[in-house]
Amino acid sequence: MDFATESEKLTNWVETRAPALNDAGVKGILLRGSVNQPLRAEIRTLPSPSPAPKQLLTAKILVLSSQSKNTRSFSQDTTNMSSSNNAQLKGRDFLTLKNYSAEEIKHLLWVATDLKSRIKVKGENLPLLQGKSLAMIFEKRSTRTRLSTETGFALLGGHPCFLTTQDIHLGVNESLRDTARVLSGMTDAVLARVYRHSDLDLLAQEASVPIVNGLSELYHPLQILADYLTIQEHYGHLKGLTISWIGDGNNVLNSIMMSAAKFGMHLRIATPKGFEPDASITKAAEQLSKESGTQLLLTDDPMEAARGANVIVTDTWVSMGQEEEKQKRLKAFQGYQITMQTGKAASPNWTFLHCLPRKPEEVDDDVFYSERSLVFQEAENRKWTVMAVMVSLLTEYSPQTPKPTF
């Protein structure tokens, strides 16, 4: 059987009949198959007498080999996303925000807000991940990613397993393909912090469990979820705000560029010449900005980038693996330090974010330790957002608290 062809036929069948299926009370259709089993449809109907016309209809195609996965999903009518996003996200990989819609990212932030409220504020015990295990592969050292993931997964009743390069070295002692299949048989999810994003892509292709990007040279989506949660908590919304990025055109910036416009946020970027974001990322961000009606500015003038900004963001100038370029980078980034003088060009209510670790040349103490700095709230929110990702990918949990304004 040609699974790609068969799944495409079934997908087209569902798409052409979506309105009629909605009217008939069908809430969703799950099509599942493997190399040994024919594709089958599982039709989920709404309980009578619930009205159907405005319900979201989803179809998810899972074409599975014995140990690998290839998932594609589509949806029609986004009138009521909140009741179905939890089911849509279960089993997904989390590699880049580029592959997540605005509503899906909002759902993750809602779950993070909900968990933070129920566990931290109300003191509830929520063993949502009891009986589940997580493999944590770290090719790069980390404080926040490791602590947030280990403590968060354990707080929800799960068992995180931390693996360094002394325990596992992707593609060295064992092929990535074999590693993905072994981990799939022993754990419920894998979080990997790697040098090459292509390693994450291969893990995701071969694994039958969700793969989560803990950081790669291309993207850092977990960090951006924490940033957005922090901004939402401070301002009460995201739409219409302006983010100013002043620094390196790196993985954190790439993730912002792939998502800010989805919330209706404007983006002003200043990078030194020669340190601009990747051209393909810029092109995709320009398209997102055009579709959403937001503004995107790229310049090499930090003060111009800061003009009118609500949030000023920077990051390390010398990332892991770039140590040999340190002197070259320090010279190139002269004039890019965030100071109170930078803030004079920004909006009167401007705040500051940095994903840490921070060096004084990137932002001075007057800003970093001021009331405008949200960096430690941002760091804590790494925990609640990674918990939200794990809960959403591994369960069908629905938030119990009111949905925040985005």
Sheet holding 211-215, edge to edge: 159-163, 133-138, 189-193, 211-215
- Nearest residue to 231 via CA among 346, 310, 316, 148: 310
Asked if 209 and 187 count as a contact pair (C-beta separation under 8 A), the reply is yes
Instruction: Verify whether residue 161 is a known catalytic residue.
Output: no
Q: What is the CA radius of gyration of the chain?
A: 22
User: Cα(177)–Cα(192) distance, rounded to whole angstroms?
Assistant: 14
Task: Report which residue type is found at 373.
Answer: S
CA 192 to chain centre: 13
Q: Which of 253, 355, 374, 379 is catalytic?
A: 355
DSSP string, 384-401: HHHHHHHHHHHS-----S
User: Cα(73)–Cα(88) distance, rounded to whole angstroms?
Assistant: 8
β-pair partners for 159? 133
Which ranges constitute the DSSP H helices of 128-278?
144-155, 176-186, 197-206, 221-235, 251-257
CA 387 to chain centre: 12
User: Cα(174)–Cα(182) distance, rounded to whole angstroms?
Assistant: 10
Strands 26-34 and 40-45: antiparallel
User: Cα(59)–Cα(149) distance, rounded to whole angstroms?
Assistant: 31
User: Cα(247)–Cα(234) distance, rounded to whole angstroms?
Assistant: 23
User: Cα(305)–Cα(292) distance, rounded to whole angstroms?
Assistant: 20
User: Cα(169)–Cα(171) distance, rounded to whole angstroms?
Assistant: 6
Q: What backbone torsions phi and psi does residue 354 show, to the nearest 5 degrees?
A: -150, 130
Q: Could you tell me how many residues make up the chain?
A: 406
* DSSP element (H, E) containing 89: helix 85-89
Give the SS3 label for residue 105. Answer: helix
Give the SS3 label for residue 402. Answer: coil
Any idea which residues carry the catalytic annotation?
355
